[in-house]
Amino acid sequence: MYNFNYRRIRVTVQKDDRMHELLQYLHSHHVTIRHVQTKKETLQFEISSNKLHVLRQARRKYRLKLKLRYTAPDVLLQKQLTTFIGLLCLWIVPIVCNEWMWTIDVHAETPEKKVAVERLLKNEFTAPLLKRGLPSDTEVRQLIMQEFREFSWVHVSKIGSKMTITPQLAPENIVKAEKDAYYHLVAGNSGVITHFNITSGERKVTPNTTVYTGDTLVSGVIAQGDNYLIVGAVGEVYADYWLETDFTVPSTVKYEVVTAEDWKVTFFDKSPETALKKIQLPSWLDPYIQIAEVETRQQIVETLTEENLESRILPLLHEKMIQSLPAKSRIKKENLLHVTFEDGKVKGKVLFLVNENIAKRYPIDQGE
C-alpha cells in the first residue's frame, strides 16, 4: 500500500566507505535527498517519511548506524494526504449536512392532535429530507388545514436543520339555542358547497353545488307523506368563496424571528418572559431556581422587493384575515394582485379563497 506521509526526516550517518554506497542505493531507488550538510565526522540529509522503508533496507544491507529525527515534530497539521482529506471533510461535511432537514417537530395542544399531525406528515414526507425537496410553508399549512378543519392557522418555523410545526385551534363558538324558535338555514354568502355539519333538518343542496345569497341550504321542515313536521335546521354548511381585500404597508418592515430555542437555568430570578416550557420544581426549591425552555429572538429590518414580497407579506395578511373571519373558517389559498411600489409604500390587492360556514338562520313561517 502506498504511503502518503510526506513528513521530513533528518538523517545523520557516520562518514566511512559504506556511506557512499548508501547514497548510491538511495539514488537507485529514486529517493530524493534534500538539504545535504557535511561535517567533520558525519553527513546529514533529509528524506520524506514515505521513503523510510528504503532507508531501513539500506541500513540492514550495509550495517550502518543512523540517527533519525523528524524535522517538525510539533507541527499540528502535517503535510500529508490524510491531513488534506481530513480538512476537506471538515469543510464539506457541514455544508452537505446543512442541505438536509434532520428534524421535524410538531407542537400541538394535545398529544392526540400531535400524533395525528405527525401521522399525516409521515405519509407525505419524513426526516431526514433534502431542503430543496421540502414542501413550502404554504403547502405544509394547506395540507394540515385541509385534513384538520378545527385548525385556524398552522405556524411553520425553519431554523437550521429543524422544522417546527405548531397548529393553532380555532376558538369555540358556542351559540345558545332559543327556545320555541325554529329556523331554516340559508346562504349568507355565495359560494361552492364543500361539506355539511348538521344535527337537524333536511339538506336542499349537495356538495360541489354553487349557491347564491338567500338560497335555502337546510330546511327546518321535513315532509312525512301529506304532512309536514317542523324540526328546525341546526348545524353548519361550509362553502368556498373568493374574497378580495386591499393592503398598504411600508416598503421597509421590521419583524422578529426565533433564532434558537434552549433550556436556561436561572438562580434567584423569575422565569424569563419568553419561556416556552417550565419544569415544576419542589416548592422549597422553586423560589431559588428556575429551569425553563426559552427562545431567542432577533429583530430584522428588511426592504420589501418583488422577490420577497410573497413570503413576507402573505403570512401577515393571512393572519390578519383569519382573525376577522368567524371561528372554524379557513383560508385555503391566497393570490397577490396589482402590486405597486410608490412613495416608500407597497400597495396591492390580495385574493383569498375562504372556506367558511355560510349558513344563516331564517325564521320558519308557521304557516308553511
Tell me the percentage of the chain whose pLDDT exceeds 70. 89
Confidence tier at 176 by pLDDT (50, 70, 90): very low
**Cβ-based neighbour number of residue 246 at 10 Å:** 10
Residues of the chain within CATH 3.10.20 domain(s) are: 100-169
User: Is a pLDDT exceeding 60 seen at residue 281?
Assistant: yes
Over residues 147-174, the mean pLDDT reads 77
Task: Single out the residue of 192, 285, 183, 195 nearest to residue 237, CA to CA.
Answer: 195
pLDDT tens for each residue of 327-355: 888 888 888 888 888 888 888 899 999 99
d(CA 256, CA 182): 50
Parallel/antiparallel/unpaired status of strands 103-106 and 162-169: parallel
Q: For residue 307, what are the contacts with CB-CB under 8 A and spacing of at least 6? A: none
pLDDT-derived band at 207 (thresholds 50, 70, 90) equals very high
Looking at every residue in the chain, the average pLDDT score rounds to: 81
Contact 257, 300 (CB under 8 A): yes
By percentage, how much of the chain surpasses pLDDT 90?
A: 13
Is the pLDDT score of 271 beyond 60?
no
- Predicted local confidence at residue 174, as pLDDT: 46
Torsion angle, CA of 225/231/235/239, rounded to 10 degrees?
40
Whether residue 128 is preceded by a cis peptide bond, meaning omega within 30 degrees of 0, is yes
> What are the tens digits of pLDDT across the range 130-141?
877 778 888 888
pLDDT at 356: 92
Sign of the alpha-carbon dihedral angle for 48, 53, 54, 56: positive
Question: Looking at the predicted structure, is the pLDDT value of residue 107 above 90?
Answer: no
Domain limits, CATH 3.30.70.600, in the chain: 8-70
> Which of the following CATH numbers is that of domain 100-169: 1.10.8, 1.10.287, 3.30.70, 3.10.20?
3.10.20
Cell match 404597508: residue? 249
Three cell numbers written together for 342: 410608490
287 φ, ψ (degrees, to nearest 5): -65, -15
Question: Which residue would you say has higher pLDDT here, 358 or 301?
Answer: 358
Least confident range of 71-80, 202-211, 273-282, 296-305 = 71-80
**Does the pLDDT at position 177 exceed 50?**
no
SS3 state at 288:
coil
Q: Which tens digit of pLDDT belongs to each residue from 73-88?
A: 555 566 667 777 888 8
pLDDT at 202 over 80: yes
- What CA–CA distance (Å, rounded) separates 45 from 47? 7
Above 70 in pLDDT, residue 68? yes
Task: Note the pLDDT of residue 359.
Answer: 93
User: Domain 8-70 adopts which CATH fold?
Assistant: Alpha-Beta Plaits (3.30.70)
User: Once rounded to an integer, what is the mean pLDDT over residues 155-165?
Assistant: 83
